[in-house]
Amino acid sequence: MSQSTPHAPVTKAIFPVGGLGTRFLPATKAMPKEMLPVVDKPLIQYAVEEAQAAGIANQIFVTGRGKTTIEDHFDYSYELSHTLETKHKTDLLEMIRPLLPTPGQVAYTRQQIPMGLGHAVWCARELVGNQNAVAVLLADDLVMADTPCLKQMMQVYAEVGGNIVAVMEVPLEHTSRYGIIDPGVQDGRLIEVKGLVEKPRSNPPSRYAIIGRYILQPEIFEALDAQTKGTDGEIQLTDAMATLLGKQPFHAFLFDGKRFDCGNKIGFLEANVAFALNRQDLAADFREVLARYTG
Ligand code: G1P
C-alpha cells in the first residue's frame, strides 16, 4: 500500500444513508430514517450542515431504494418556492434556500445490497477519486457542540493529518455496540490509535468508542477493495481502518460536545428534548410542557 500525503485535502463528505432503519418501524416503512426530524430538521440536514460548517462543499450520498426523499430535500422545490414567494413568506424562503447544494457538488450513488458500513463507503470510491482524503458522517450520530464536531476534527487534521476518528468514552457494558480503539499516547484531546476492534464481545481494549465522524486518507478505499467480511458478516469500516495502522498517522479525537444516538428511540427522543430546549423560540414553552410530565 502506498504512503499517502498525510494532509491530502478533505474536499468531499460521504453520507452513508442506505440503511433500512428497522428500529423505527413503522415510521420508516416508506420514509428514510435519515429524514426523521429532530425538532423540525431532518437528521441528514444536521449532518450536511456540519460538513458545510467544516468547509467541505462536495457531498456524496450513498443511498438505497426508498431514499429519494433525501434527494428531493436537497433539491429546488419549485411549487414550494413559488407559493412562498407569492405569499411574501421571505423568512421561510430564507430557511429553505441554504438546502440547495451548489449544482454539480452533490452526487448520489446506490448501495444495491446492504453489506455493511465499509461497503457503503466503498461504493463512493469512484466519486471521491484517489487524491482526496474524505470525511464520513453518519447522520444517526447527532452531535450538539459549540464548534461542530467535524470542524473541530478539521482543525486537528490541519496539524496532524492522516486519519482521524471522533471518539467518546462509553460505559464498559456499551462497548460491544461500537468500534473501539486501542489507545496509545494521549495529548490532550488527541489519542494515538494502536488498534481498532469492531463491536468487541469481550475484553474491549478501552472504553473509547468511535462515533460516526471520520476523516480518512484515500488508501481506505484500497483497504476496502478486499471486501473482507467481519462482525455480523458485514464489511466493516473499522476493519479497513485497522489495516492503515502503522502505515499512516491515525488518531482518535475526544470531541467537545454531546452526541445523541439517534439510531435508537431513547437517544432520538433525548435529542429532541435537548435540541428543543436549546432553541430560543421553543425553550420556555417546552420547559413548561415537560414539567407537566416530569414534575
Ligand atoms: C457503526 C460503526 C461503529 C461505530 C458506530 C457509531 O456501527 O460500525 O464502528 O462505533 O457506527 O455510531 P453501527 O451503529 O452502524 O452498527
Structural domain total, the chain: 1
> What's the CA-to-centroid distance between 287 and ligand 1, angstroms?
32
Whether 101 maps to a domain, the answer reads yes
Give yes or no for a contact between 247 and 3, defined as CB atoms under 8 angstroms apart: yes
Mutating to test ligand 1, I would choose from 23, 117, 165, 220 the residue with most ligand atoms within 8 A of its C-beta, which is: 117
Mutating to test ligand 1, I would choose from 210, 234, 236 the residue with most ligand atoms within 8 A of its C-beta, which is: 210
Whether 107 maps to a domain, the answer reads yes
CATH, residue 221: 3.90.550.10
Q: Encode 274-288: b = buried (16+ Cβ within 10 Å), e = exposed.
A: ebbeeeeeeeeebee
> What's the CA-to-centroid distance between 3 and ligand 1, angstroms?
27
Residue 134, beta-bridge partner list: 12, 216
Residues with CB under 6 A from ligand 1: 117, 138, 141, 178-179, 198, 209-212, 236-238, 263
Q: How many CB atoms lie within 10 A of CB 10?
A: 24
User: ω into residue 26 within 30 of 0, thus cis?
Assistant: yes
Whether 114 maps to a domain, the answer reads yes
Whether 69 maps to a domain, the answer reads yes
Whether 5 maps to a domain, the answer reads no
Q: How far separated are the first and last CA of the chain, in Å rounded? A: 60
Whether 192 maps to a domain, the answer reads yes
Whether 263 maps to a domain, the answer reads yes
Range of the domain at 31: 10-294
Q: What is the pLDDT along the chain (295 residues), one digit of tens a residue?
A: 444 446 788 999 999 998 888 899 999 999 999 999 999 999 999 999 999 999 999 999 999 988 889 999 998 888 888 888 898 888 888 887 777 778 889 999 999 988 999 999 999 999 998 788 999 999 999 999 999 999 999 999 999 999 999 999 999 999 999 999 999 999 999 999 999 999 999 999 999 999 999 999 999 999 999 888 998 899 999 999 999 999 999 999 999 999 999 999 999 999 999 999 999 999 999 999 999 998 6
Give the C-alpha separation, 216 to 237, whole Å.
11
**Atom of ligand 1 minimally distant from the CA of 231:** 8
Whether 4 maps to a domain, the answer reads no
